[in-house]
Amino acid sequence: MAYLNVGKENSAEIDLYYEDRGTGKPVLLIHCWPLNGSSWERQTAALLASGHRVITYDRRGFGRSSQPGIGYDYDTLAGDTNKLIQLLDLDGVTLVGNSMGGGEVARYLGKYAEPGRVTQAVFMASITPALRHAANNPEGVDPAIFEGIKQSIEADRFAFFEAMFKSFYNQEQLLGTRISPAAVQAGFAAACSSSYQAVLNCVDAWLEDFREDIARIKIPTLVLHGDSDQMVPFEVSGKRMADLLPDAQLHLVKGGPHGIFWTHAAEVNQVLLRFIAQDRSGLA
């Protein structure tokens, strides 16, 4: 088991759990909220089988990482990503962010990127470019919705998770076909193991505006999204990302919910592997 120290809160160290497996072109996978790095198991298996080095980590507050009460803003979270990239001295890495993880990808590329470190970026069901409705962001979502989410978490986060996963995987349509009750339960258990403070405070981070970060992206980019995503609808995220990054590749998963990494893993993996194979940085 490998850990990276990223700071300290009072007398307690803040350590991130990570896994670094395989050889070849590196791929760093950043998980969604409220899961952890193990949620990538179907992508990790495909990437390793295709000869890639695969790195996953648990965001602070989730999985086997420390659960501090601080650091759930995107400057800090992307700083954690940067520290891992620096520790492993990664070059020519493909950075993949799922849902909330897309924010780390965007902020890292906007603030920390060094030439050659990251040569491709993937935004999968991402919360980017900007979720908060505002005068300069009329396509955004009413912030009151996020306050409602926080109130539900504060009242009973376990009941909230149980209801949330119905929409996360579009269970009404896909349960028993593309996802089993056991897999849903595994996700629920992972969510329940996360820190209350992390689960709650990350909701505020979702309202970050990443448009300035996205304007700085100069590397090949893939936007992957489900057309039936009930959590982060394509129209408010993936479509806008494709508009802001006109050279980006866009793949829309037909019938795909928010959790396409599991329900549509075969299609997601095929698209992801094809995109990674296109890297012409000389490091693929």
Q: Give the start-end residues of each E strand in 10-76.
A: 12-21, 26-30, 53-57
Retrieve residue 185's tokens. Answer: 């339960």
pTM: 0.97
142 is catalytic: no
Q: Which of 15, 229, 237, 264 is catalytic?
A: 229
58 is catalytic: no
Q: Which of 99, 194, 195, 228 is catalytic?
A: 99
Top-level CATH class of 2-277?
alpha beta
247 is catalytic: no
Alpha helices in the chain (DSSP H): 41-49, 74-88, 101-111, 143-168, 171-174, 181-192, 196-205, 211-215, 238-244, 260-263, 265-277
- Domain positions in the chain: 2-277
Rounded Cα gap, residues 55 and 213, in angstroms: 23
Half-sphere exposure of 116 (CA within 13 A, CB side): 6
Rounded Cα gap, residues 66 and 217, in angstroms: 31
- If we measure between CA atoms, which residue out of 197, 284, 281, 261 comes closest to residue 45? 261
* Whether 43 contacts 268, CB under 8 Å: yes
Rounded Cα gap, residues 169 and 175, in angstroms: 8
Rounded Cα gap, residues 222 and 272, in angstroms: 8
Encode the chain (284 residues) as per-residue pLDDT tens digits. Answer: 799 999 999 999 999 999 999 999 999 999 999 999 999 999 999 999 999 999 999 999 999 999 999 999 999 999 999 999 999 999 999 999 999 999 999 999 999 988 899 999 999 999 999 999 999 999 888 999 999 999 999 999 999 999 999 999 999 999 999 999 999 999 999 999 999 999 999 999 999 999 999 999 999 999 999 999 999 999 999 999 999 998 999 999 999 999 999 999 999 999 999 999 999 775 54
Rounded Cα gap, residues 59 and 161, in angstroms: 18
